[in-house]
A and B are shown apart, each in its own frame.
Chain A
Amino acid sequence: MFGDYALLLVGAVLVNNFVLVQFLGLCPFMGVSNKLDTAVGMSAATTFVLTLASACSYLTYHYLLLPLDLAYLRTISFILVIAVVVQFTEMVVRKTSPLLHRVLGVYLPLITTNCAVLGVALININKAHNFIATLFYGVGAALGFSLVLVLFAAMRERLVIADVPEPFQGAAIGMIAAGLASLAFMGFAGLVPS
């Protein structure tokens, strides 16, 4: 049983990586990966939001919506849950690190519209995970997102000072690098049967 959960985690982090394989959450991925410190801050914030939001979504679905036969309201109520969690996170970040708050800027409240967060919540329902599995899946998705964000930020820091031909400088070489990284991650396909 623990093996199943471990496989679920590995699957979420590597095989079905949310950013590079499932192509969710690309907006903060490209927008916040300029510097390593910012990327680490963003990953921490998203991990916090993802874990909390997937747990709260599960509870909301199973203890409020299902008993009242309101399963069709799950999308809007999950959005409500995520918005509240993000708002809460923003308050905590502003208090603990004003610099991170200023640097993340608009990307912090945009975690609300991060399709990866809503995606995790909905996919958990689709796959009929129990509570533990939901948590593992949420944490795995967050870890996968953080891994890719940090790797990509490190790459972009080096790209900035490298000798890139002028037409490719900036976002262009970033996109190409992201595509290549995506190709690399697709090499994990088949590692975990899913």
Chain B
Amino acid sequence: MRVIHDIPGGIHPPERKALSRPGQLRELPLPNRLVLPMRQHIGAPASPIVKEGDRVLGGQCIAEATTSMSVAVHAPTSGTIVRIGAHPIAHASGLDDLCIELETDGSDQWLSHSGVTDYRAQSPETLMAHIQQAGTAGLGGAGFPTAVKLLARERGPIETLIINGTECEPYITADDTLMQCEASAIIEGAQILAYIVGAANIVIAVEDNKPDALAAMTAAAGADIEVATFPTKYPSGGEKQLITILTGKEVPRGGIPADIGIVCQNPGTAVAVRDAIVHGKPLTHRVITLTGEALTSPGNVRAPLGTPVETLMEFAGFQPPMHPRVIHGGPMMGFALASLAAPVIKTTNCLLAPTPDELPLPQPAQACIRCGLCAEACPASLLPQQLYWYAQAKDQQQLEKHHLFDCIECGACAWVCPSNIPLVQYYRASKAYVVDARQEKQRSENAMHRFEARQSRVAHEAQEREAKRAERKAAAAAKAAASGEDPVQAAIARAAARKAAQAETADEPGDPS
């Protein structure tokens, strides 16, 4: 029996999971148009390898990875590429980005694909290459390229693979549904992942508010895969928090779980890995929770990537209230979409359409009363109040001293704040400011070195010129001394002689020039 530890802080917001009917998975009818952004994950964007007018088949790679921290994009179905250009995307900024727009032809023809018959006969490197080519990224919300995450095995021995079925954020039930409907696929994926990273133990983590998922996973797991459950608390599903809960160990500051021999993956990622290895199928669809009281038929759907949000909202019966808001992600860590034309991407786990009564618009922030509730709620044992003051003062030194970069941006502090201060926004802005300041410092140091190098080069060249001049002068003086005549007078004499010679030839008759 595994000892379950507790994390500091944490909150218990209302779960509201039953609203989206976990356990029932619907397939979305094929949309007319799919929009695939080049940036669907952490890292460098992919680069299109098709042109407008091309016909593509389902599963065909339409954009390739550009760097090692980049992931390919595949067409979810057959159709024609109608446009490659800027299109609204699901991003907190509301800006547009490069997208490939695909008009589907309805026939859903797929490229023939086949996986490996026995993954245990392949080397982990080969399997990681398959995963990379299949465009697999973390489906938990952060979108880390999976093949890069699995490279962690090179940092040191990995003992445990954790499948993170916690899904602690309210409203979201995508992983819950996946665990109930495709438990064996998750187990298979977990086994493949464990083989790749060389982990001896697999642990499936399920919070205790998902009894059906727990039962399904336990039934599918068998004897040698452990299914662990623990009390519900937000944000237990954060990677670092989950590791502490299950093992009591802490991921070192600035480090990754692989440093203590653990790798975490989302259940959806495990299924995507299984599809990539066993069937050779790239990542083209995912389970998305459509929820919120503004929807008449909320639930979980499996949708192709690139489906515009408005299509999904129509499918779920969206009744826009007076101030419509559709949140990409959950109520704690999601953001409101600027445009419903934006498509869903690999990291879209939920679309939340609340009514204003359900999730009121943010109240205006008031003055901080220094109550300290935020510090009690912080799961990373930070001091949010101090970070708030230093963020306002833009005091980079103190922000770093108070471990700003250990903040997981879970929003627990902002949730408890009695003054409605948007604390997480302060921390996000400060992180950007500090990273910017570090980069500027690097640039200015670089510029200083280049400037000093240039100064010394210019001085060196001037010195050389001076030396050469002095040399020539000395040589001329030596020559004059050797021949015993004044070089200036000799030059004047030569010039006079040449002039005289010219005058003579000009005097000769018969020469009109």
**CB within 8 Å of B: which residues of A?**
158, 160-163
Flag B364-398 by CB within 8 Å of A: 1 or 0 each: 00011000000000000000000001101101000
- Give the complex CA separation of A161 and B389 in angstroms: 6
- B389 — which chain A residues lie within 8 A by C-beta? 158, 161-162
A161 touching B393, Cβ below 8 Å? yes
**CB within 8 Å of A: which residues of B?**
367-368, 389-390, 392-393, 395
B367 touching A163, Cβ below 8 Å? yes
- A162 — which chain B residues lie within 8 A by C-beta? 389
A161 touching B395, Cβ below 8 Å? yes
- Give the complex CA separation of A162 and B367 in angstroms: 10
- Give the complex CA separation of A158 and B367 in angstroms: 16
Nearest CB in chain B: distance from A153 CB, A: 14
B368 touching A163, Cβ below 8 Å? yes
Nearest CB in chain A: distance from B424 CB, A: 19
- Give the complex CA separation of A59 and B368 in angstroms: 56
Knowing that A158-B389, A162-B389, A163-B367 touch, tell me 7 more A-B residue pairs with CB under 8 angstroms: A160-B393, A161-B389, A161-B390, A161-B392, A161-B393, A161-B395, A163-B368
**Nearest 6 CB-CB pairings of A with B:** A161-B393, A161-B389, A163-B367, A161-B392, A161-B390, A162-B389
Nearest CB in chain B: distance from A179 CB, A: 21
Nearest CB in chain A: distance from B181 CB, A: 52
- A163 — which chain B residues lie within 8 A by C-beta? 367-368
Residue of chain A at shortest CB distance from B388 = A161
Nearest CB in chain B: distance from A35 CB, A: 11
Residue of chain A at shortest CB distance from B395 = A161
- B367 — which chain A residues lie within 8 A by C-beta? 163
Residue of chain B at shortest CB distance from A163 = B367
Nearest CB in chain A: distance from B59 CB, A: 55
Q: Which of A160, A161, A162 has the most CB of B within 10 A?
A: A161
- Give the complex CA separation of A161 and B367 in angstroms: 13
Nearest CB in chain B: distance from A61 CB, A: 47
- Give the complex CA separation of A162 and B388 in angstroms: 10
Nearest CB in chain B: distance from A55 CB, A: 38
Nearest CB in chain A: distance from B429 CB, A: 16
- A158 — which chain B residues lie within 8 A by C-beta? 389
- Give the complex CA separation of A158 and B393 in angstroms: 10
Nearest CB in chain A: distance from B42 CB, A: 33
Nearest CB in chain B: distance from A119 CB, A: 36
- A160 — which chain B residues lie within 8 A by C-beta? 393
- B395 — which chain A residues lie within 8 A by C-beta? 161
Nearest CB in chain A: distance from B399 CB, A: 11
- Give the complex CA separation of A161 and B387 in angstroms: 11
5 CB contacts below 8 A, A to B, read A158-B389, A161-B389, A161-B392, A161-B393, A161-B395
- B390 — which chain A residues lie within 8 A by C-beta? 161
- Give the complex CA separation of A158 and B392 in angstroms: 12
Residue of chain A at shortest CB distance from B393 = A161
- Give the complex CA separation of A160 and B390 in angstroms: 10
- Give the complex CA separation of A161 and B395 in angstroms: 9
Residue of chain A at shortest CB distance from B386 = A158
- Give the complex CA separation of A130 and B395 in angstroms: 49
- A161 — which chain B residues lie within 8 A by C-beta? 389-390, 392-393, 395
- Give the complex CA separation of A150 and B393 in angstroms: 21
Residue of chain A at shortest CB distance from B390 = A161
Residue of chain A at shortest CB distance from B389 = A161
- Give the complex CA separation of A124 and B482 in angstroms: 89
Residue of chain B at shortest CB distance from A162 = B389
- Give the complex CA separation of A158 and B385 in angstroms: 12
- Give the complex CA separation of A163 and B389 in angstroms: 9
Nearest CB in chain A: distance from B142 CB, A: 32
- Give the complex CA separation of A162 and B395 in angstroms: 13
- Give the complex CA separation of A161 and B370 in angstroms: 13
Residue of chain A at shortest CB distance from B370 = A162
- B368 — which chain A residues lie within 8 A by C-beta? 163
Nearest CB in chain A: distance from B28 CB, A: 50
- Give the complex CA separation of A160 and B395 in angstroms: 11
Residue of chain B at shortest CB distance from A160 = B393
Residue of chain B at shortest CB distance from A158 = B389
- Give the complex CA separation of A149 and B100 in angstroms: 64
- Give the complex CA separation of A161 and B385 in angstroms: 12
Nearest CB in chain B: distance from A103 CB, A: 16
Nearest CB in chain B: distance from A74 CB, A: 47
- B392 — which chain A residues lie within 8 A by C-beta? 161
